[in-house]
Amino acid sequence: MAKIRVLHVLQSSQFSGAENVACKIIEMFKENKNIEMAYCSREGSISNILNKKNILYFPMKKLTFIELNKVIRNFKPDIIHAHDANASVISTFATRKVPIVSHLHSNPPWMKRINIKSLMYATSTFFFSNILTVSSAISNEFFFKDIIDKKSKVINNPVDLKHIISSANSTEKQNGIYDIAYLGRLAQPKNPLKFIKLIRDIKLVVPEISVVMIGDGVLREECEDLIKEFSLTTNIKLEGFIENPYKILSNSKILCMTSKWEGYGLAAIEALALGLPVLCPNVGGLPNIVNESCGKICNNDIDYIKEIEKLLVNNDYLLEKSNGALIRSRFLDNYDYYKESMLRMYCEMVGEG
């Protein structure tokens, strides 16, 4: 088997869900001498993470087809693995010689209607070898669904329970025990402002509620202002981005997600693995992860408030849901299958399958 060189292309300069998955894929194959991988994105804080993980990194000032073409000529990949719609489209302009995997990690509203973005992506699909989606909702709700059907495949994000649990049990010092945790970017898709408004309403029922928000993003300042406006500074701790969030999660009782849209919902599984019941909306892949045994799909604010109150005042109910979360997470562990699937796809793309 000849060595396969894979270039992972991402748009963001920060570390979040898609970036996490790309890093996990690269780390999966570090011991495989027949696979060489590199990471390419706009330069930014992501470089600190990649440096710690010892991942080969090609930073760009901007993600443009000209800059990406320079990286391609330098690294000479056999495969381009693009991790969002924009990176996928730009990759088709950067090269027509290297096969492209378009990997969609989210399900933004623009994909569900006809517009310049959905038209550009639909047109670009003719140049993709494979299209991966992290949930069936992404392909099923895409406006041009019929165009991508033959090339698309659902592959849930990689879940490594051993890593999550060992990271939670690390010797890192962690102060504080929390009733509710938020895990995700402080950005529109994750809807952190709604989360803060929910905490304001829950505080009327549970005055001493303790909350931690893990993550950073463009809405950080607005979150800080809203916390002050609602007099929640003694209730909500904004932790910002943490490389290992599992220690804090393991010291929390509930994960509450308020996303406007999701791809897969990896944060939900990470919480379940640590025994946290998950409350979330009915979006993206979340309904395939969370059920009544381990949490609740909430259709409105009242659903959230009632369930949180029940979990926090009834220890037996919390314990039942926590045990259900642990059981559910074991069912969702797919690390070995994911690695095998990726290797098979890469080999087929270069004619080694």
Judgement on whether residues 244 and 285 belong to the same structural domain of the protein: yes
CB atoms near residue 314 (< 10 Å): 12
Judgement on whether residues 326 and 339 belong to the same structural domain of the protein: no
Structural domain of 40: 4-158+334-349
Are 239 and 212 in contact by the 8 Å Cβ rule? The answer is yes
pLDDT in tens, 314-346: 999 999 999 999 999 999 999 999 999 999 999
Judgement on whether residues 141 and 284 belong to the same structural domain of the protein: no
Tell me the C-alpha distance between 202 and 145, whole Å: 40
Judgement on whether residues 154 and 32 belong to the same structural domain of the protein: yes
Sequence-distant (6+) residues with CB within 8 A of 285 are 134, 135, 136, 137, 156, 262, 263, 264, 265
Among 311, 324, 309, residue whose Cα is nearest residue 275: 324
Judgement on whether residues 345 and 305 belong to the same structural domain of the protein: no
Judgement on whether residues 174 and 297 belong to the same structural domain of the protein: yes
> What's the predicted TM-score (pTM) here?
0.87
Judgement on whether residues 149 and 210 belong to the same structural domain of the protein: no
Judgement on whether residues 192 and 136 belong to the same structural domain of the protein: no
Judgement on whether residues 328 and 338 belong to the same structural domain of the protein: no
Six-digit token string for 165: 């649990």
CATH of the domain at 265: 3.40.50.2000
CB atoms near residue 150 (< 10 Å): 8
Q: What is the pLDDT of residue 176?
A: 83
Tell me the C-alpha distance between 248 and 239, whole Å: 10
Judgement on whether residues 287 and 178 belong to the same structural domain of the protein: yes
Among 26, 20, 28, residue whose Cα is nearest residue 335: 28
Q: What Rg do the C-alpha atoms of the chain give, in angstroms?
A: 21
pLDDT in tens, 32-53: 999 999 999 999 999 999 999 9
Name the domain count of the chain: 2
Judgement on whether residues 170 and 266 belong to the same structural domain of the protein: yes
Q: What is the pLDDT of residue 280?
A: 98
Q: Which residue has the tokens 């406007």?
A: 260
Contacts 24+ apart (CB under 8 A), 309-316: 309/202, 309/205, 309/206, 311/253, 311/254, 311/277, 312/179, 312/206, 312/209, 312/253, 312/254, 313/206
Among 214, 260, 263, 266, residue whose Cα is nearest residue 236: 214
Judgement on whether residues 153 and 184 belong to the same structural domain of the protein: no
Six-digit token string for 212: 């931690």
Six-digit token string for 107: 């399900």
Tell me the C-alpha distance between 316 and 338, whole Å: 36
pLDDT in tens, 187-221: 999 999 999 999 999 999 999 999 999 999 999 99
Q: What is the pLDDT of residue 353?
A: 56
Segments of the chain scoring below 70 in pLDDT: 1, 174-175, 353
